[in-house]
Homo-oligomer: A and B are copies of this chain.
Amino acid sequence: MIIVLKSGSTQSDIDYIKEKLHAKGLKVHVSQGEERTIIGAIGDERILREAALAAYPAVEAVLPILKPFKLASRDFHKEDTRIKVGDAIIGSDDVIVIAGPCSVETREGLLEVARSVKKSGAKLLRGGAFKPRSSPYAFQGLGEEGLKYLAEARDETGLKIVTELMDPRDAELVDKYADIIQIGARNMSNFNLLKEVGKMRKPVLLKRGLSSTVKEWLMSAEYILDEGNMEVILCERGVRTFETETRNTLDLSSVPLVQSMSHLPIIVDPSHAVGRADLVAPMSMAAVAAGTDGLLIEVHENPEEALCDGPQSLRLGDFASLMKSLRSLAKALGREL
């Protein structure tokens, strides 16, 4: 960690800080520049983060050298983490497509979607039984009934299921049904919920927060890893900007960025990012070309009647066409789908 002192700092300022750093068991190196004195502190930076160095009156800035996460970093684990769910391996040459409705609404509708996306080549089925909705007056999900429909769809089609956990009190219930537990964007910094899924022994799909940096996102993954659950799948779903034509701004550069910083697999949810069905196909294609490990796509048997996210849901036929395009794209890139 590098500590930059204010212009005009005295020797006693320097000595004071040196002493504090020594007391924490750190090696210290002072370097006198023409305009600024800087102090380098060598040792475990995580100790330093605890120290409120920037609160010392003589300190102008504190510059960390190391990334704040450890278990999630490439330095810690050089090889790609591969996560097996059914016969799908996320983090491999296969592009894994997860498809389904935003929320589970009816048994029949869900089964129709499941059969259709299975036929088109999806490997997992998504569907929310607990829905975080910005309005208390909006449909909040079917709860356990929805989970049962998902299980029934799995039994019939063989598709493994991904569903969201919103509340630590529902952890056991959701664990009973889900193959992958989703943590939604709004809960990326719900640290108690992260600790809870960290204690499970089941893959977690961790969505990027609405306005979180990649570093913060990896810190949230660190919470799960730190509890002993090493199966975290990151999911880019767009970040908030000033643009109003799209729901969010899909940040595809997070795909290779995460791959350079971390060993964890990363998939892309184009549906929530753009919020418009007509932009889902090109963004799905782009995500695959950017190197994503998979896609999470909203599909509905009748988007006009959807209780949630209709405008961004693909119709069954459009999803089937998209899968064809994705398959030939994956092939051209030396991958499978």
Contacts and interface: CB of A to CB of B under 8 A. Distances in A.
Contacts of A44: 34
Interface in A243-289: 243-246, 249-253, 255-257, 260-261, 273-274, 277-279, 282-283, 285-289
A321 interface: no
A291 to B, nearest CB: 5
Given A253-B273, A288-B289, A310 B52 contact: yes
A75 B252 CA distance: 30
A178 B247 CA distance: 38
Contacts of A306: 52, 55
A191 B2 CA distance: 33
A213 interface: yes
B241 A249 contact: yes
Contacts of A331: 332
Contacts of A4: 65
Given A55-B277, A219-B134, A222-B135, A329 B211 contact: no
A285 to B, nearest CB: 4
A215 interface: yes
A215 B245 CA distance: 8
Interface stretch (A82-90, A119-127, A163-171): A163-171
A210 B4 CA distance: 28
Interface core residue of A2, A44, A136, A168 (most chain B CB under 10 Å): A136
A310 B305 CA distance: 42
B242 A246 contact: no
A240 B252 contact: no
A303 interface: yes
A41 to B, nearest CB: 9
Interface string A28-51: 010101111010101110100111
Interface string A1-29: 01010010000000000001000000001
Contacts of A42: 31, 33-34
Interface of A: 2, 4, 7, 20, 29, 31, 33-36, 38, 40, 42-44, 46, 49-56, 63, 65-66, 68-69, 75, 132-139, 166-169, 186-187, 189-192, 195, 210-211, 213-216, 219-220, 222-223, 226, 239-246, 249-253, 255-257, 260-261, 273-274, 277-279, 282-283, 285-291, 303-307, 309-311, 313, 328-329, 331-333
